Amino acid sequence: MATTLDLASCSHAELVALVQDLQNRLTERERQIEELKTLLEGKMAAQPASTTVPPGIEDQPAPGSQEDLLAQLEKIYPEG
């Protein structure tokens, strides 16, 4: 739905139909999200929890952590 719609020129019935369509789409998306969450939970429960850390990972900061961001900045802008 890449077309631009001039809402001011729409009739009341067109606006009601548009809102109903958007509500239906939102309901469908929410249903899909719940279905995917359920599938993911099932897969996560079926997989055994891994307690081993791959080599070289244990000394790396968690992605998105402050340490990780600082390390990325150091790589981009080394001191010197």
**Contact residues for 67 (Cβ-Cβ < 8 A; gap 6+):** 61
Any domain includes 33: yes
Contact 61, 67 (CB under 8 A): yes
pLDDT digits (tens, 9 = 90+) for 13-49: 999 999 999 999 999 999 999 999 999 988 888 877 6
Q: What is the span of the domain harbouring residue 26?
A: 10-47
Number of structural domains the chain divides into: 1
Sign of the CA dihedral with 63 first, then 65, 69, and 70 last: negative
CA of 79: how far to CAs of 63, 67, 69, 73, 76, in Å?
Answer: 22, 16, 15, 10, 10
For the full predicted model, state whether its pTM sits above 0.85: no
Any domain includes 23: yes
